[in-house]
């Protein structure tokens, strides 16, 4: 009777620990990861390319060039570190560049990215980090 109970407990434990997207082959564990999906790219054959195209389109349409005291447009570089969290929302981690006005405009533009389907790791939603260098 004890043997049956032990076998039953082991079987139950192995089922409850199984995860979708995780493959164990001997001592090798493979975890499947998928990137976040931009709205409108769900049915695209190449979701990564679609994501990149939508991001570039978003930048072109939403970046507002700041002006200096003379009224001239400011141009420069900014590096944006962001994450798309488990809920699919964009979280700006940092914006680095030489001009604070350009950094602020870049951060405002990134915060306007629409909510999307989050990235997955092992079948569970996970935060995915990105770094985007921009020359504006």
Each domain of the chain, given as residue ranges in start order, spans 32-135
Global pTM reads 0.77
Cα–Cα distance between 131 and 12 in angstroms, integer?
Answer: 42
- Which range, of 20-24, 73-77, 103-107, 116-120, averages the lowest pLDDT? 20-24
- Is pLDDT of 105 > 90? yes
Nearest alpha carbon to residue 41 among 96, 98, 105, 116: 116
Q: What is the pLDDT of residue 25?
A: 79
Q: Decide yes or no: CATH 1.10.3470 for domain 32-135.
A: no
pLDDT digits (tens, 9 = 90+) for 56-78: 999 999 999 999 999 999 999 99
Mean pLDDT, rounded, of the chain: 88
């Amino acid at each position: 009777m004890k043997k049956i109970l032990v076998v039953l407990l082991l079987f139950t434990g192995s089922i409850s620990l199984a995860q979708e997207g995780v493959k164990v082959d001997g001592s090798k564990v493979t975890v499947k990861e998928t990137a976040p999906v931009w709205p409108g790219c769900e049915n695209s054959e190449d979701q990564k390319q679609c994501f990149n195209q939508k991001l570039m389109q978003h930048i072109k349409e939403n970046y507002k060039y700041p002006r200096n005291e003379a009224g001239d447009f400011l141009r420069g570089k900014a590096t944006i570190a962001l994450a798309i969290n488990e809920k699919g929302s964009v979280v700006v981690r940092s914006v680095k560049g030489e001009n604070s006005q350009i950094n602020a405009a870049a951060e405002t533009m990134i915060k306007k990215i629409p909510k999307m389907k989050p990235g997955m790791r092992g079948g569970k939603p996970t935060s995915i980090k990105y770094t985007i260098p921009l020359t504006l």
